Structure 1
Amino acid sequence: MKQVDQMMKEAITDEVFPGGVLLVAAADSVVFFETYGYADIFSKRPMTKETVFDLASLTKPLATTLAVMQLVSQQKLRLDQDLASILPQFKNSDKSRITIKQLLCHTSGLCDYRPYYESLDKLPPERRKDALRDFLVSEPLIDPPGAKVLYSDPGFMILNRAVEQVAERRLDQFVEAEIYGRLGIEKLFFIDLDSEPRDAQFAATERCPWRNTLIEGVVHDENAYAVGGIEGHAGLFGTAKDVHRLLCVLLNDFYGQAENILFKKELLQTFFRRDGRSGRALGFDAPSSTGSSCGQYFSKKSVGHLGFTGTSFWMDLDRGVIVILLTNRVHPSRDNDKIKAFRPQLHDVVMTLIES
């Protein structure tokens, strides 16, 4: 893996990101786990294997989707269930017939993004969650449900509300009690902005123009920040080591190699199966035919996801390979997008070396 090590060092030199952690696993064994660069360029604090990252949109598969999966396994929720049957506020809206499955595979007809925080910021903190719910209820559809694929943050904000309604607990509390806690995973967590700060080594993210400060140890995503740090599309923090521990459990359950530590094999097969219309798995991304961030050598039977802050994971279900790349590419500015070209090149080299 000397070539991989060299690529990561060159990425630091070329300012693809200030720092990063790369973990590669194959056949249940970690074959590469190294750290590079700085967690904070201003204090020169180095990256370590214990550095906690703002995982950004990895929240979608590793928290919200797993919460949905758990509720399905408990027979409290169905993939074909529509919003009107779960959330009373949506009954008389144009979103009443959107299903849980459509939200998971981004075919809901909702927009990709909306800067709700600009309006929420003008309200007292205690009113913001209700206000965001009202914004989501009134958010107009841009396509009929099921007609087109458009990756949607608002869709996962709505999923968060569905989970909390059915689970009768906040998302962070539900996934901690039902998933992370059961597995003994301590360093996957949300940060409640109303609670005491966590004692951890955080990777710094952006010098945020809206908040006029360097973001570290609180969620980078503005919409999640405006409502207290816990949302369905963003807000999860974690280390590479504990992301790997969670993915290993999912992979072993998928293979049926364990006594259903977390989920039954059949349920994981349903969620990991690529949807014919969207080309995505349920709550997870899948390799696109061209230009995929996982490069060209991951099998079609792979799942993964990207996070805006510079995080990603890919898991090849055929080969049992997991690649986790966590970086702080938005530190100190989100304008740095060099990682887009770097990711597929790195994954290609990793897979070539594993196969050789």
Structure 2
Amino acid sequence: MNRRSLMALLAGIAATKSRSATPTRMQSALQIIQTQIDNGTLHSAVLHVRRGDRVTQHVFGKAEPDSMFLLGSITKPLAVALPVMILVDRGELKLSDHAVKYLPEFNESARKDITIEQLLTHTSGLPDQLENNNELRSRHAPLSAFVKGAMRTPLLFAPGAQYHYQSMGILLAAEIVERVTKTALPDFLQQHVFTPLGMTRSVLGLGQFKKSDMVPMQTEHAAPEAGGGDPKAREWDWNSDYWRNLGAPWGGAHSSAADVAMFLRLFLHPEGTVLREDAARLMIRDHTPTLSAHRGIGFMVGPVGLGKGCSARAFGHSGSTGTLAWADPATDTSFVLLTSLPKNVSGELILYPVSDAVSSQA
């Protein structure tokens, strides 16, 4: 155990009174991470937990306290759903609006029936990734090429009929934000989200930062759509200049653990800084109670996929890059764990065991 991690562990144990996890639970959670650091499976991680006013943060491996990680799908609620809700809050669009109102070329067959809400709750019928996803990435296609593909790709089912996780719906919601505001999404986020919330270590794409400012991904374990298993994917995988700069609205944001915690607090304690309280509450409400997955606006809702000890009011998201973040209004707790190890490995080994340990004592 390195000196920073040992100090963090001791600080965490000292702080675990009152509403914090018991020392045994927190020690167990920290040891899960440290074990994978020690055996070389995991290179970098930061765990940030807040309960009420009590904050503990633990840094592991090559990470620093303010290290910026590739968030993966935590990008969806942060960089797309929140901007959409800002526009809803301003009266510039409605969740019930049909996407075709803002994307007139999205008008073939059942596409014209898809609402903005369905784009954000994964009920639009669009696929997760395009069939030619890897080909687009391998030739360093711009986001506009993905948008064009999402406009034309066949629907998997009638809009609203079922739940199916779909990054392409999130992409089209991002396109709507840009068309309504006439502003590039990274710039909108900087002006209306990151700056007001004090998120100084957050960006969609790279922006003012350099790739060297970001924690490298352990891409040998990457998901197939990110080049996993393809020895030729180094020019377009998660560590490539192409991907880090692309700013994919479904998975290309970078942030620190503390910044993600600030984002979650926006919904735990809405103060009107970015969203009015009713708009913030609307985002974390269950919008798909009769379907196979419980989804808010951009968020997962309830304990499934977040933490076994979370209540039905919990909300959050995970990322295939090896990230997990949630908050639970029932216990006034937020949890952020950012790692360099893709979720298809870190999920079972690290993310969910740690989250279960922390949430069960929240």
What range is the shorter-chain TM-score in?
0.7 to 0.9
Q: Tell me how far apart the structure 1 counterparts of residues 115 and 237 of structure 2 sit (CA, whole Å).
A: 35
Deviation at 1:123, TM superposition (A): 6.1
Identify if the C-alpha distance between structure 1 residues 295 and 76 changes in structure 2 by more than 3 Å, giving closer, same or farther.
same
Deviation at 1:185, TM superposition (A): 1.6
Deviation at 1:136, TM superposition (A): 1.1
Partner of 2:35: 10
Deviation at 1:268, TM superposition (A): 1.4
Do 2:30 and 2:354's aligned partners in 1 also have CA atoms closer than 8 Å?
Answer: no
Partner of 2:251: 234
Amino acid at match of 2:234: N
Task: Please state if 1:56 is matched with 2:68.
Answer: no
Task: Please state if 1:100 is matched with 2:100.
Answer: no
Kindly provide the CA deviation profile for residues 187-231 of structure 1, in whole angstroms up to 9, marking residues without a partner as x: 1102258x8835625333415634336967657xxxx839x5122
**Aligned equivalent of 1:34, options 37, 53, 58:** 58
Identity between Structure 1 and Structure 2 (%): 26
Kindly provide the CA deviation profile for residues 219-276 of structure 1, in whole angstroms up to 9, marking residues without a partner as x: 7xxxx839x51222011001111111222233210xxxx3x12211111111111122
Partner of 2:267: 250
Unaligned 5+ residue runs, structure 2?
1-25, 221-226
Kindly provide the CA deviation profile for residues 8-48 of structure 1, in whole angstroms up to 9, marking residues without a partner as x: 21233455533211111001321x211112xxxxxxxx211
Kindly provide the CA deviation profile for residues 292-345 of structure 1, in whole angstroms up to 9, marking residues without a partner as x: 333321000000100011011011011110010100113xxx8x5242354332
The DSSP-based 3-state class of the residue aligned with 2:79 is: helix
Partner of 2:233: 211
Partner of 2:243: 225
Deviation at 1:158, TM superposition (A): 1.1
Task: Please state if 1:82 is matched with 2:82.
Answer: no
Do 2:47 and 2:338's aligned partners in 1 also have CA atoms closer than 8 Å?
Answer: yes
Partner of 1:42: none
Unaligned 5+ residue runs, structure 1?
38-45
Do 1:295 and 1:343's aligned partners in 2 also have CA atoms closer than 8 Å?
Answer: no
The DSSP-based 3-state class of the residue aligned with 1:66 is: helix
Task: Please state if 1:151 is matched with 2:157.
Answer: no
Amino acid at match of 1:211: A
CA RMSD of aligned residues (A): 2.6
Tell me the matched-pair count. 325
Task: Please state if 1:133 is matched with 2:157.
Answer: no
Amino acid at match of 2:96: D
Do 2:140 and 2:236's aligned partners in 1 also have CA atoms closer than 8 Å?
Answer: no
Deviation at 1:4, TM superposition (A): 2.5
Partner of 2:353: 345
Deviation at 1:80, TM superposition (A): 0.2
Q: Tell me how far apart the structure 2 counterparts of residues 301 and 252 of structure 1 sit (CA, whole Å).
A: 14
Identify if the C-alpha distance between structure 1 residues 49 and 109 changes in structure 2 by more than 3 Å, giving closer, same or farther.
same
Amino acid at match of 2:180: V
**Aligned equivalent of 1:303, options 315, 320, 325:** 315
Amino acid at match of 1:344: Y
The DSSP-based 3-state class of the residue aligned with 2:65 is: coil
Q: Tell me how far apart the structure 2 counterparts of residues 135 and 104 of structure 1 sit (CA, whole Å).
A: 18
Q: Tell me how far apart the structure 2 counterparts of residues 182 and 102 of structure 1 sit (CA, whole Å).
A: 28
The DSSP-based 3-state class of the residue aligned with 1:88 is: coil
Q: Tell me how far apart the structure 1 counterparts of residues 233 and 348 of structure 2 sit (CA, whole Å).
A: 26
Do 1:51 and 1:203's aligned partners in 2 also have CA atoms closer than 8 Å?
Answer: no
Q: Tell me how far apart the structure 1 counterparts of residues 137 and 255 of structure 2 sit (CA, whole Å).
A: 27
Task: Please state if 1:22 is matched with 2:55.
Answer: no
The DSSP-based 3-state class of the residue aligned with 1:20 is: strand
Partner of 1:283: 298
Kindly provide the CA deviation profile for residues 67-110 of structure 1, in whole angstroms up to 9, marking residues without a partner as x: 10111111111000011111111123531110011111111111
Do 1:28 and 1:248's aligned partners in 2 also have CA atoms closer than 8 Å?
Answer: no
Identify if the C-alpha distance between structure 1 residues 177 and 12 changes in structure 2 by more than 3 Å, giving closer, same or farther.
same
Do 1:84 and 1:91's aligned partners in 2 also have CA atoms closer than 8 Å?
Answer: yes
- TM-score normalised by the chain length of structure 1: 0.83
- TM-score normalised by the chain length of structure 2: 0.81
Amino acid at match of 1:203: P
